[in-house]
Amino acid sequence: MKDLLKQLDLTAVNAGTWYGSDHCEDQSTGLIDSINPTTGELIASVRNTSPAEYERVLTMAQESFAAWSKVPAPVRGNAVRLIGNALREHRTTLGALVTLENGKIKSEGIGEVQEMIDIADFAVGQSRMLYGNTMHSERPQHRMYEQWQPLGLVGTITAFNFPVAVWAWNACIAAICGNVNIWKPSPKTALCGVAVQKIVNAALADENLPPVFFLINDDSNELAQTFVDDPRINLLSFTGSCAVGRQVGARVAGRMGRVLLELGGNNAIIVDEFANLDLAIPAIVFGSVGTAGQRCTTTRRVLIHKSRFDEVRTALVKAYGQIRIGDPLDGKTLMGPLIDESSVTRVEAACDAVRAHGGEILCGGERLDRPGNFITPAIAVAKNDWNIVQSETFGPILYLIPCNTLDDAIAMQNGVVQGLSSAIFTDNLQNAERFLSSGGSDCGIANVNIGTSGAEIGGAFGGEKETGGGREAGSDAWKAYMRRQTTTINWGKNLPLAQGVNFDL
């Protein structure tokens, strides 16, 4: 552990406030302890940001924006290219830190850094493609077009479960769009935030650029609320639970700011009578047990045609019996710990709620007799309308629900308040297309013969309904980080009005 911290230039107590590569020396604020969820041991600490430091961050970020927004977009892209290169160099070490602090298994920790690299590469290309449309004006000798301008300060608040990748989705795209970024990571993974801040700003140190990436830390969520309410933050990108996102959305809307919400999911996989279980079973197991069930896209419900129910149940219980639970840094481990003790308690409470409804826990839901936040992944037979099934328990509990028809399954799939990810396993073309048609899945992500989790960065990521409606990462998600400006130029000698209006003096 000490070697890893040394390689990432992390110390026992780390500054939690950064202005580009410069940090704050103020030691008056309290510390956020970074705890290893595998052992319960202290890894290091990160200092909270004080209100005065916050003011300094905001002032400097505004000054930076004035300069950075004037840097040509492809040059901004080159800065992000350097970041991508630096992340390539730190892929294994930063991935290991993600595993150490968050508890996700080694390949997922490294995969998260790979996702950062991928979005950096994407952003570099996008920096030369901030295209606007041109339109034909209805007036002679007029030219009409739209252009995309930098927005200003982009504030990013992230959840613990993707401690580095979600920052990159936002920051790399926002940066090529000419914005300055201020990040408040989850206090549960504050050390990852400091590590990223150092890698990224070291990569830009020789570039003679204004600081673009700022970091603040706060474990009380008081400063976070100031951040949300701050009219200087032009776009607030929030990733987290529906409950907090609802408050954040309302507060930003109250100041007429822009908000991008990436909130909770309650994702289902439909297994119809034509499903190939050789594909479906591993996809369900990865979707429900991967990241110990702590992904927004985690598979939480499996809606199974009644003719396949027993087969699927037996195969899943067998597969769950083979899940190797343990130290996430061990390459053979498939499931590590949950982030904290209260997450373990919530999974136990969900199992109790299933039993109270008269449902059956087929396996799992038992704490491991060892230090750390370990619990065996649970499978329950349940009904879609139970409260516990309707809500997102952010841990490894999977509900199996029998269905009579595809229409039933789609109605249940959509019959929750969240709308993030969905999938169907079928070899039947009509069923696949029905699921993808306008009366089919109502989610932001709809897959066929692929599970609900593990999205690629090339597509726009996000969900509908209480998932918040935001879109991040690829496709044209960059537009959320820019200001659209419609321009009409009159190059003639007359002043015709639109719609043929006469206003002669």
Residues serving a catalytic function are 262, 296
| 187 is an interface residue for ligand NAD by CB under 6 A | yes
| Helix 277-289, helix 309-320: angle, nearest 10 | 50
- Give whichever of 149 and 345 is closer to ligand NAD, judged by the CB atom: 345
- In DSSP terms, 153 is beta-bridged to 180, 233
User: Among 7, 78, 107, 225, which residue sits at the site for ligand NAD (rule: CB under 6 A)?
Assistant: 225
Angle at 40 between CA 36 and CA 42, to 5 degrees: 60
| 215 is an interface residue for ligand NAD by CB under 6 A | no
Q: How many residues does the chain have?
A: 505
| 403 is an interface residue for ligand NAD by CB under 6 A | no
**Nearest-CA neighbor of 22 among 52, 56, 51?**
56
Nearest distance from C-beta of residue 56 to ligand NAD, angstroms = 20
| 239 is an interface residue for ligand NAD by CB under 6 A | yes
294 to 7, 113, 271: CA distances (angstroms): 28, 17, 22
- In DSSP terms, 350 is beta-bridged to none
**Nearest-CA neighbor of 406 among 383, 388, 382, 432?**
432
Please report, as residue ranges, which positions from 260 to 299 form the binding site for ligand NAD (by CB under 6 A): 262-265, 296
What is the rounded distance in angstroms from the CA atom of residue 162 to the CA atom of residue 469?
A: 19
- Give whichever of 113 and 275 is closer to ligand NAD, judged by the CB atom: 113
What is the rounded distance in angstroms from the CA atom of residue 377 to the CA atom of residue 30?
A: 36
- Give whichever of 247 and 405 is closer to ligand NAD, judged by the CB atom: 247
Candidate segments 144-152, 223-231, 371-379, 406-414, binder of ligand NAD by CB under 6 A? 223-231
Please report, as residue ranges, which positions from 416 to 455 form the binding site for ligand NAD (by CB under 6 A): 420
**Nearest-CA neighbor of 323 among 398, 262, 255?**
398
| 315 is an interface residue for ligand NAD by CB under 6 A | no
| 82 is an interface residue for ligand NAD by CB under 6 A | no
Number of neighbours of residue 396 by Cβ within 10 angstroms: 29
Q: How far apart are the first and last CA of the chain?
A: 79
User: Among 62, 247, 276, 405, which residue sits at the site for ligand NAD (rule: CB under 6 A)?
Assistant: 247
Number of neighbours of residue 91 by Cβ within 10 angstroms: 18
- Give whichever of 296 and 335 is closer to ligand NAD, judged by the CB atom: 296
Instruction: Spell out, one character per residue from 369 to 388, where the chain touches ligand NAD: x when CB under 6 A holds, - when not.
Output: --------------------
Tokens of 487: 């321009």
- Give whichever of 127 and 158 is closer to ligand NAD, judged by the CB atom: 158
| 98 is an interface residue for ligand NAD by CB under 6 A | no
User: Among 110, 151, 196, 228, which residue sits at the site for ligand NAD (rule: CB under 6 A)?
Assistant: 228
Nearest distance from C-beta of residue 249 to ligand NAD, angstroms = 11
Tell me which residue has tokens 């048609």. 437
261 to 94, 312, 401, 463: CA distances (angstroms): 26, 35, 29, 9
Cβ proximity of 99 and 106 under 8 Å: yes
Please report, as residue ranges, which positions from 331 to 370 form the binding site for ligand NAD (by CB under 6 A): none
| 240 is an interface residue for ligand NAD by CB under 6 A | yes
| 244 is an interface residue for ligand NAD by CB under 6 A | yes
What is the size of the binding site for ligand NAD (CB under 6 A)?
A: 27
| 221 is an interface residue for ligand NAD by CB under 6 A | yes
Angle at 188 between CA 91 and CA 100, to 5 degrees: 40
- Closest residue to bound ligand NAD by CB: 240
The beta-strand segments (E) located in 223-374 are 233-239, 258-262, 267-271, 299-305, 360-363
- Give whichever of 144 and 450 is closer to ligand NAD, judged by the CB atom: 450
Phi/psi at 190 (5° precision): -65, -30
* 460-461 vs 472-473, strand pairing mode: antiparallel
| 233 is an interface residue for ligand NAD by CB under 6 A | no
Nearest distance from C-beta of residue 296 to ligand NAD, angstroms = 3
What is the rounded distance in angstroms from the CA atom of residue 355 to the CA atom of residue 360?
A: 6
Nearest distance from C-beta of residue 104 to ligand NAD, angstroms = 12
- Give whichever of 219 and 327 is closer to ligand NAD, judged by the CB atom: 219
- Give whichever of 36 and 69 is closer to ligand NAD, judged by the CB atom: 36
| 394 is an interface residue for ligand NAD by CB under 6 A | yes
Tokens of 40: 């319960």
What is the rounded distance in angstroms from the CA atom of residue 360 to the CA atom of residue 352?
A: 10
- Give whichever of 236 and 400 is closer to ligand NAD, judged by the CB atom: 236
Instruction: Spell out, one character per residue from 148 to 177, where the chain touches ligand NAD: x when CB under 6 A holds, - when not.
Output: ---------xxxxxx---------------
- In DSSP terms, 473 is beta-bridged to 460
CA 375 to chain centre: 24
* 258-262 vs 360-363, strand pairing mode: unpaired
Nearest distance from C-beta of residue 478 to ligand NAD, angstroms = 17
| 186 is an interface residue for ligand NAD by CB under 6 A | yes
Helix (H, G, I), strand (E, B) or coil at 475: coil
| 304 is an interface residue for ligand NAD by CB under 6 A | no
- Give whichever of 160 and 425 is closer to ligand NAD, judged by the CB atom: 160
Nearest distance from C-beta of residue 173 to ligand NAD, angstroms = 14
Nearest distance from C-beta of residue 52 to ligand NAD, angstroms = 20
Tell me which residue has tokens 């003790």. 341
* Interface residues toward ligand NAD, by CB under 6 A: 157-162, 186-187, 221, 224-225, 228, 239-241, 244, 247-248, 262-265, 296, 392, 394, 420, 467
